Amino acid sequence: MASGWVGLVSTLHMLASGDDSEVFARSQRLLAFLTKLTKLPVTFLIGWLSAFQDFLLLAGRSFANLFQRPHYWDDVSIQMDIIGFGSLPIVILTGFFSGAIIALQMARALNTYGASSEVGAIVALTLVRELGPVLTALMVAGRNASGIASELGSMKVTEQIDAMRALGTDPLQKLVTPRLIAGAVMLPALTVIADAIGLVGAYLVAVPLLRIITAGEYWSTSWRALVVNDLAQGLIKPLIFGIIISLVGCFYGLKTTGGTQGVGKATTEAVVSASIWIFVVTFLIDKIFVNL
């Protein structure tokens, strides 16, 4: 690509100096470059669509495996431990500080309208509806989508996945489905924890630190602010995010090629892709729930 630009610049230069044969050769190359450039969006789109199709196939087969034997419950519990218990520290920290930060910012803004007493309600709504699920999912994506992609990617490049198939085990059943179950179960649980810790963080800011509200007021307003719709959103989102994180990690892991470098690339792609999907899906779910 870069050489094409260099070619373009030097061709213009050549045109100015008037060297004919050289100009012809260069303009041929320039034409080829421009053709490639126009084809680029098309090839990119086709590549993306075929990757998405592969992803849907993987997802479909992994879901189908939920209802088919054999089930590898040992692997499910190992993955639950890695994804769930392993992510607990970062999820607690993220939850605590996001709650504290919202309280700090909101206390000031609400004060302008003389509505400081509503701080609990605002924190509860933002955390449960939006930030709890999204921030937890982003942290877990950074931690586990990468972990899954690099683990499966290493297995792929060292022929372990092929070995698994050759030994008569379905890698989707043995590797993907347990991670899918673990992600779908653990992420809602982690989100609930993050929400709760976030409320504690906001409490510490609003009550003992800023003293804008009493403890009783804080807890009762935040509790009363939540309705079923909020809780439903707050639990459906992490369920879907958990599925996305596990499947995206597995997808990039299983399609790894090109040795250790490929494993690194797969890991990066998995985190980036999972994070983007988290935002896209949040938007879609919000669109549905806001209209309800």
Where on the chain is the footprint of another protein (CB under 8 A)? Answer: 68-70, 155, 158-160, 162-170, 174
Taking the complex as a whole, the smallest distance from the CB of residue 19 to another protein amounts, in Å, to 38
Which of 4/264 has CB closer to another protein? 264
- SS3 readout for the chain: CHHHHHHHHHHHHHHHHCCHHHHHHHHHHHHHHHHHHHHHHHHHHHHHHHHHHHHHHHHHHHHHHCCCCCCCHHHHHHHHHHHHHHHHHHHHHHHHHHHHHHHHHHHHHHHHCCCHHHHHHHHHHHHHHHHHHHHHHHHHHHHHHHHHHHHHHHHHHCCHHHHHHHCCCCHHHHHHHHHHHHHHHHHHHHHHHHHHHHHHHHHHHHHHHCCCCCHHHHHHHHHHHCCHHHHHHHHHHHHHHHHHHHHHHHHHHHCCCCHHHHHHHHHHHHHHHHHHHHHHHHHHHHHHHHHC
Which of 27/169 has CB closer to another protein? 169
Which of 163/280 has CB closer to another protein? 163
Taking the complex as a whole, the smallest distance from the CB of residue 165 to another protein amounts, in Å, to 6
Which of 122/175 has CB closer to another protein? 175
Which of 158/261 has CB closer to another protein? 158
Taking the complex as a whole, the smallest distance from the CB of residue 45 to another protein amounts, in Å, to 22
Taking the complex as a whole, the smallest distance from the CB of residue 32 to another protein amounts, in Å, to 21
Taking the complex as a whole, the smallest distance from the CB of residue 249 to another protein amounts, in Å, to 16
CB atoms within 10 A of CB 243: 20
Taking the complex as a whole, the smallest distance from the CB of residue 225 to another protein amounts, in Å, to 46
Which of 164/236 has CB closer to another protein? 164
